[in-house]
Amino acid sequence: MVTEITELQLTIKDWASIQPTWCPGCGDFAVLNAVKNSFVELQLQPHETVVVSGIGCSSNLPHFVAGYGLHTLHGRAIPVAEGVKLANPDLNVVVTGGDGDGLAIGIGGFLHGARRNMNLTYIVMDNAVYGLTVNQASPTSGLGRKTRSTPYGNIEPPFNPITLALAAGATFVARTSSGDKNHFAEILSEAIKHKGFAFIDDMSPCVTFNKVNTFDFFKERVYKLEETDHDPSNYQEAMLKSFEWGDKIPIGIIYQNKNVLTYEEQDPTITKFGSVVRRGAEKDIDALKNILKDFV
Amino acid sequence: MSDLFNEISIRISGENGDGIFSSGDTLAKICSRSGLEVHASRAYQSIIRGGHVSYSIRASNQEVRAPADYIELLVALRKDSFIVDAIPTMTKGGFILFDSKGSRIKDEPIPSDVELIDIPALELARKLSPLKILRNTVFVGAAIALYSLKLEYLEEIIHEAFDRKGEEVVNINIDAARAGYEWVLQNCKLIDHNVKLKDRTEKVFIGGNEALALGLLAGGLQSYSWYPMTPATPVGAFLAKYGPNAGCVVKQMEDEINVANFAVGAGFAGARSACATSGGGFALMTEAIGFASIIEAPVVFIEVARGGPSTGLPTKTEQGDLNQLLGASQGDFPRAIIAQTTIEDGFYLGQESLNIAEKYQIPVLIASDLYLGEHFETIPELDFEKIPIERGKLILEEIPVEEQPYLRYKLTEDGISPRAIPGVKGGEHDAGSDEHDEDGKLVSDRRAGFPEAIQVRIKQMNKRMGKMDLLLTELPPPQVESNADHPDILIVGWGSSYDVINEARADLLKVGIKSSQLHLKYILPFHAKEVKEILEDFESKQIPILMVEANYTGQMARHIRAETGFLLKHKYLRFDGEYILPREIGMEVKKLLNKE
């Protein structure tokens, strides 16, 4: 929910929390920064905002930003966030996590979340490595990469998160780079404003373990889709764009469909009562007795 | 044989796809509308066509809370009915209604002393319509004629089922029902029974799963997530249908891991939240149960057990998942485990469990099983006012500045911290699956190992676990039920076997065996002191104690020993997947008392 500015303007200080525990120079700092800036730009209220995460370096993010934080289990951020959202659709729910969290252990939740199209924003801080467990291959690690789990080189081709999200039915799909935090904040604001499941694959370099996908690696390759004639409303074009990964890597909004109803807008309970949490726990005895008429 | 035909005991059986369940359901409802108490249960297999399925009905002027020990009227649609149902379970003097020509039944083994009624059901049906399924209606019409039940009720149910399909369908079915009914009146001697049929009665006839689901709605359920799994599916099907009009969001998820995590998210957000599954799904849910407990989110997890391990016996019953409930998820954390005991109990337990979950901010695990969940009974009138909705220390209003900072996991005298939910201004906090301090900040990362963090860990563990002691004081301690001052035996059971044991005891009393019953419903926290005193009291009086459980190892007996140190020596354990019948418990008691 984007709140009307009626009271004091909220500033970045209203989103302040404890200092992050990430390694100095980690790409995740840019995400945190963009999250706060975007929340300020959209004037989200901290008490109406829930940041949900899984487990991993990047999933510590909710602790570093004010508002309600829900630091869940490894791979389970999406289903937990869906539970929050359907219980109270009035809340702004932003989900964050890493590539291991969302694309390995949590891929089921990610793909079904994408097709479900609840009004959620999901940021994957993609560093192509398991950092917190000290350097193992992740589902986005490139072929040949040597890690502690692939000491002889990675022989599994990586997932393409953008193609996956498109195939699963996400209605907003974007790639961003932690190397360009202002651009990221702009895209994030668009994602939060988007009505439906918004997925952002953020290239967030791991300065400790990933010596391939570095800030420089992306700096040399990324270009902004906004500066091209790419049409994000064209699904086929978006699909083709999703395959582009090499000397040139597109960042920005790859796909957006503004004309689809969200899950909440169609749910039979929510369309009738709105937020069930705001409605309260009710015991409508007459209605319950009416059900019993079917059991005679 | 003196009890013969003091009750109605009908079984209809055939193949999957024969429409056995809807015919059985119709017969059960006719009995219920005739003012009788009804117990109805099904046996089936994990296939959609073929195999052998049955629907058993027991109806009486007295309460019937257990399956009938014997079949008096078997409606046999297939030849397998003779092998599976007639030979093992027919009573002498009973009747088998079948269609030798229509069902190609010849030379089947027939139990001794039963009367065969060979009705040309298919031929009668074919006169009305080419639809083979119509023969079921002929059979139902014939069955009610044999018991002198009213054709009018059958016609009423035909209208309810087929009115939306148009007049022609209704008329064909009514004609088929009449054809079967008339055929019996013209060709058979009616069953001379002692059941008093009453005027049209409207009694609630409901299953254990449905009663539990209704109880959840009566408890103000606001979120239910699920994934289909036999035998818990009817809970979800009920809530999918009735939840949306009762203010409950119902979400089918992609697997039980995400079902459970969805439920935790909803609970955290302030919804009264529940989910249900069977053993295999529950195994997947377990990590989320510990998660709910450490973030102190209230959630009810329902486990309707079937035969395990693994895929096991998907359509058969077992009380084999107690160990799994006790051991679910890593680490020590507070959880309540409560066993549903009867269908009626499900209605109240659904409400009670949501109250406990929210007042204590803990996961509540409900243990049920296929027998209890899937059988139907007429039940006494439900009291919708009995259990008010209690939400505990829930904060819904803005927290004033002077009361800030708000501490979500504040150390309080009773271990329960006031709970703010998203949307509440001033209540912002982090809820994390890691160990955390009163503020919700982690002590698991850079603070881990520091003396202050070690103290936080100890205090938070004590706070959470302390809720178990407090909860135990609220739960009613188990009571011994006796039908004599000096009983010959104490039967100990738990969960779904309450009524079956109770009926076995009533039957035993008829042959002079007096008994007591200790039935356990609240499994965790456990009334160790009270249970120990009861068991030691019987032991000191040298009264034998028989533990009755539907599992291989005696999981409750082991739990009792773990909690009390008391060793239960005599156990009647069933793990074949079939319902325990009162007569089987009776035989076991007689064996133990050397009275056979």
The percent of residues above 90 in pLDDT, for chain B, comes to: 93
Q: Which long-range contacts (CB under 8 A, 24 or more apart) does B379-385 make?
A: B379/B203, B379/B204, B379/B205, B379/B206, B379/B211, B379/B343, B379/B344, B379/B347, B380/B344, B381/B204, B382/A292, B382/B204, B382/B344, B382/B347, B384/A283, B384/A285, B384/A288, B384/A289, B384/B218, B385/A285
pLDDT digits (tens, 9 = 90+) for B99-149: 999 998 888 889 989 999 999 999 999 999 998 889 999 999 999 999 999
**Residue B119 corresponds to which tokens in the numbers above?**
């009705």
Strands B249-252 and B419-420: unpaired
Q: Is the pLDDT reported for residue B588 higher than 90?
A: yes
d(CA B518, CA B367): 18
Tokens 């009670």 map to which residue?
Answer: B352
Q: Of B223, B287, B389, which has the smallest distance from its Cβ to A87's Cβ? A: B223
Tokens 């609220």 map to which residue?
Answer: B474
Min Cα distance B165 → chain A (Å) is 18
CB burial string B118-149: b at 16+ within 10 A, e below? ebbbbebbeebeeeeebbbbbbbbbbbbbbeb
pLDDT of res. B18: 87
Is A268 in contact with B202 (Cβ distance < 8 A)? no
pLDDT of res. B2: 40
**Residue B340 corresponds to which tokens in the numbers above?**
């549903």
Tokens 């509440």 map to which residue?
Answer: B424
Q: Does B434 touch chain A (CB under 8 A)?
A: yes
Domain covering B8-202, topology: Pyruvate-ferredoxin Oxidoreductase; domain 3 (3.40.920)
Give yes or no for a contact between B407 and A28, defined as CB atoms under 8 angstroms apart: no
Interface test with A, best of B268, B296, B358, B359 (most A CBs within 10 A): B268
Residue numbers in A near B295 (CB within 8 A): 70
pLDDT of res. A3: 55
pLDDT of res. A7: 61
Task: Give the residue from B552, B543, B479, B537 showing the smallest Cα distance to B514.
Answer: B543
Is A296 in contact with B205 (Cβ distance < 8 A)? yes
pLDDT of res. B146: 97
Mean pLDDT of chain A, nearest integer: 96
Q: Is the pLDDT reported for residue A5 higher than 60?
A: no
Neighbouring C-beta atoms of residue B555, cutoff 10 Å: 21
Neighbouring C-beta atoms of residue B47, cutoff 10 Å: 12
B484, with CB counted inside 10 A (0-12, 13-18, 19+), is exposed
- Strand segments, DSSP code E, in B185-286 are 204-207, 223-226, 249-252, 273-277
- Asked whether this chain's domains B206-379 and B480-592 adopt the same fold, the reply is yes
Residue in chain B nearest A290 by alpha carbon: B242
pLDDT of res. B51: 87
Longest CA span, chain A: 72
Interface test with B, best of A132, A277, A284, A293 (most B CBs within 10 A): A277
- The strand pairing partners of B573, in sequence order, are B549
The percent of residues above 70 in pLDDT, for chain B, comes to: 99
Taking only residues 243 to 302 of chain B, the set having a beta carbon closer than 8 angstroms to any beta carbon of chain A reads 243-251, 253-255, 257-259, 261-273, 287-288, 291, 295
Give yes or no for a contact between B466 and B519, defined as CB atoms under 8 angstroms apart: no
Architecture label for domain A12-292 = 3-Layer(aba) Sandwich (3.40)
Q: Of A71, A281, A291, which has the smallest distance from its Cβ to B242's Cβ? A: A291
Strands B71-76 and A49-53: unpaired
In DSSP notation, A168-211 reads HT-SEEEEEETT-HHHHHHHHHHHHHSSS-EEEEEE---TTT-S
Break chain A into its structural domains and give their ranges. Answer: 12-292
Neighbouring C-beta atoms of residue A1, cutoff 10 Å: 13
pLDDT digits (tens, 9 = 90+) for A65-114: 999 999 999 999 999 999 999 999 999 999 999 999 999 999 999 999 99
State which H helix or E strand residue B394 sits in: strand B394-395
Task: Give the residue from A118, A256, A258, A253 showing the smallest Cα distance to A186.
Answer: A253
Q: Does B234 touch chain A (CB under 8 A)?
A: no
d(CA B596, CA B593): 8
Q: Is the pLDDT reported for residue B49 higher than 90?
A: no
Taking only residues 454 to 483 of chain B, the set having a beta carbon closer than 8 angstroms to any beta carbon of chain A reads none
Mean pLDDT score, B466-484? 97
Task: Give the residue from B87, B42, B91 showing the smallest Cα distance to B70.
Answer: B91
d(CA B543, CA A261): 68
Break chain B into its structural domains and give their ranges. Answer: 8-202, 206-379, 394-474, 480-592
Helix B343-360 × helix B208-218 angle, to 10°: 40
pLDDT of res. B1: 34
pLDDT of res. B47: 81
Q: Is the pLDDT reported for residue A191 higher than 80?
A: yes
Q: Does B32 touch chain A (CB under 8 A)?
A: yes
Q: Is the pLDDT reported for residue B295 higher than 60?
A: yes
Instruction: Band the pLDDT of A4: cuts 50, 70, 90.
Output: low
**Residue A20 corresponds to which tokens in the numbers above?**
């992050």
pLDDT of res. A8: 72
Mean pLDDT score, A198-212? 95
Task: Give the residue from A164, A73, A80, A168 showing the smallest Cα distance to A117.
Answer: A168
d(CA B17, CA B14): 9
Q: Does B440 touch chain A (CB under 8 A)?
A: yes
pLDDT digits (tens, 9 = 90+) for B526-576: 999 999 999 999 999 999 999 999 999 999 999 999 999 999 999 999 999
State which H helix or E strand residue A79 sits in: helix A77-87
**Residue B61 corresponds to which tokens in the numbers above?**
């002027």
Q: What's the predicted TM-score (pTM) here?
A: 0.97
d(CA B482, CA B176): 50
Q: Is the pLDDT reported for residue B358 higher than 70?
A: yes
DSSP letter at B328?
-
Architecture label for domain B480-592 = 3-Layer(aba) Sandwich (3.40)
pLDDT of res. B596: 63
Residue numbers in A near B263 (CB within 8 A): 83
B206-379 belongs to which homologous superfamily? Thiamin diphosphate (ThDP)-binding fold, Pyr/PP domains (3.40.50.970)
**Residue B505 corresponds to which tokens in the numbers above?**
């005891």
Sequence-ordered alpha helix ranges (H) in B245-379? 256-268, 279-294, 322-327, 343-360, 370-374
Is A46 in contact with B428 (Cβ distance < 8 A)? yes
Q: Is the pLDDT reported for residue A209 higher than 90?
A: yes
